Structures are given as C-alpha cells and as structure tokens.
Amino acid sequence: MKLFLPCTLVLAAIGSSAYADIPTLGGPMSHMLVTLFQNEIFITFESPSMATVEMQDNAGTFTGNPSVLNDLGYNAQFGWLANGFISVPPSSGIFVRTSSISEHLSVFEQGSYDEIMGTNTSPDIWQWDGTMIHNWYATQVHGTHHASYEVFVGDLSGNPLDGFTSGFIDLNFIYGPDLSDRIGSITGSIGAVPTPGALSVLALGAIIGGRRRR
C-alpha cells in the first residue's frame, strides 16, 4: 500500500477568512512531515519555528458541524503531510496515538468535526489516510497547552506491526494570557502603598488645607 500526499490544500472546510461563519486555520500552515525510511518513522516540522501556534477566538458564529468550535479558542495550523511516497505492507496503515495531551484541549477531525484522539470518549488512536489533514484543536481555558503523539505502522485494528519503529512529535499551543493565578484574588481596587516622599507631600497638603479652612 502506497500513500502519497500532494502539496496543495483544497479544503472548503478551512476556507477564506472572507466568510465569518467558516473557521480559518489561524495562521500559516505548519506541516508535520512524515517519512518512513528503512522501517522507521521520522517526523519533522517543515518550519521548526512553528512548533508553537496561537489559538484564535470564536464568539459563536459557526453553524453546522463547525459549531463545535463555538465559544472556544481554536487552531488548525498543524497539518499531517507525507514526505514523498510512503509504502506500508498490505492490510496496514499509519496510525497516530495520543501519548499525552493537556486536560482541557480537544481535537476534532478536519471535515467531519468528529471528536478524535481521546477527546471525550473517542479512541486515543486515529488512522491517518496519507492525505494532507489539518485537524482542529480547541479549548476554553486560557494559557499554554500541548499534545504529544506517537506515529506508527499498524494493522487495520491499530495494533503496531513488528519490525517497525515509531516516530514522535510534540505540538504546543498558546491561548491568550494565562489568568489562572488571578482566580480567587480580592475584588475591588487597592491603592499602592505611598512612598515616604509621597507621605510628606500628603501631610503638607493636609496642613495647607487646614490653614485655608480656618
């Protein structure tokens, strides 16, 4: 079985930002290049500087399948891309297993927007078909998030095949400022403690004001 991925992206589901009700990637594509060489999988970023991406806000404007992203920070810049031809044995394929992922990070499949990669009750193993795919990552929690993956050759049930070595990759996300350390803080405003110099000025103003009132 041979898998090959063209270098073009034709995805109406990740369309132009000209339509407010269609999700956009969030920035330039960050491809994860998958290579199978001598029965070992290697995964590298096409642009190493793009191993971390920023999530964008959505105020709830999507309808239909994309509505799962409503009111969440989301991003789809990361895309799986075959680095040339990949040949695997008959009745086998390339699978991605979630090794670890941030607690509040969800993953939805491109196109269908189905929950994948361990989101809610979905399996933590997902079969990649060899085409360029930009899945959706989303969260409602501000701060930093990550997802770590193992990519392997397996049978059609998702069991790793003997004689093949897995590849690994880490994805990182930033969603606005992390405000978690402010939760539970005292509400209202508390003025800064005046410096000694400021106290002298305040005292002088009080004396002058008192003299004027006499």
Q: Residue 159's pLDDT band (boundaries 50, 70, 90)? A: very high
Q: What percent of the chain has pLDDT over 70?
A: 73
- Residue recorded with tokens 């990182």: 172
Is residue 4 within 8 A of residue 85, CB to CB? The reply is yes
pLDDT digits (tens, 9 = 90+) for 35-91: 999 999 999 999 999 999 999 998 888 999 999 999 999 999 999 999 999 999 999
Domain ranges in the chain?
2-213
Torsion angle (degrees, nearest 10) of CA 114, 120, 126, 132: 40
**Residue length, the chain?**
214
Cβ neighbours for 6, distance < 8 A, ≥ 6 positions apart = 132
Residue 203 has pLDDT above 90, yes or no: no
Residue 9 has pLDDT above 50, yes or no: no
Q: Residue 178's pLDDT band (boundaries 50, 70, 90)? A: low
